[in-house]
Amino acid sequence: MKYYFIATNYNNPYHTVNYINSINKLDLPENSLISIIIVDNQSVEPLDSIEEAIEKSRKSGIKSTLIRNSTNSGYFKGLNIGIDSIIEADDFIAIIGNNDLIFDKDFLLNLYKVELKEQDYCIAPNVYLPNGRKQNPHVLNKPSKIGIKLLELYYKNYYFGRLMVIVNGWLKKAKKPLDIKKPIYIHGGIGAIYVLTPNFFKVNKNLIAPVFLYGEEVILSHQIHTTGGKILYHPEVKVLHNEHSSVSALGDKNLHKIGRVSFDIFKEYY
């Protein structure tokens, strides 16, 4: 099997270099080939360190590419540039996501062991934060009308939205985190990383990408479920997520503003 790791970079070379280095250290399944595609969304910061990491990967036998996007296309549109650059006649798996990820050494070995069914379009990995808290399974069931209304309230006002974040943080600490030890189907995974299987690409060319940033989890879930697929959460396929590192440079107020614009678009995909 061929595995393509695709990530976007925006003014965050430190995490991108760590992302590439973690892929270089992966234990590989027999007869597998891996490639790395980094799409830079018109960063201002120099890309020298990323280029050096790319060259190091090439020397170790990993096909690696840095694509310099002429504009900042945003998250999914940037990932689509990477997906569209793949010229592949055979089946392949695309591991798409943020650049602030560190893959467990046996990530691919455990992914290789997953017995895919025809409906398995996407695998949601066991994503965990530096403090050990798990981010998947992210959404077990389709959100209720009340949940959507709460999200609408969040985007109505920045300061009210920040209050909701604080309250939600308290509730998360009080609530015992899910610890699901067996693969299960879920409605949606955390947007930091998705594993798209050959079954996804049999009916989808790439990602539906109507937003710049935020709402991708909702949109991809809609795309998968309306084209005959399912999302499989798998606890053995593990990856560390340095949450918000890839977008922190934009600032909270700008992120809220971007999210508000995106919500008017992605609410139609619930």
Regions of the chain short of the pLDDT cut 70:
171-177, 244-251
Query: Domain spans of the chain?
Result: 2-269
Taking the C-alpha atoms of residue 211 and residue 208, their distance in angstroms, rounded to an integer, is: 9
Whole-prediction pTM: 0.91
User: Given its phi and psi angles, is residue 132 left (phi above 0), alpha (psi -120 to 50 degrees) or beta?
Assistant: left
Lookup result for tokens 């976007």 = 8
What digits encode the pLDDT tens for the residues 65-114? 999 999 999 999 999 999 999 988 789 999 999 999 999 999 999 999 99
State the virtual CA torsion across 81, 87, 89, 93 in degrees, nearest 10.
-40
Q: Which fold has domain 2-269?
A: Spore Coat Polysaccharide Biosynthesis Protein SpsA; Chain A (3.90.550)
Q: Around Cβ 20, how many Cβ atoms within 10 Å?
A: 24
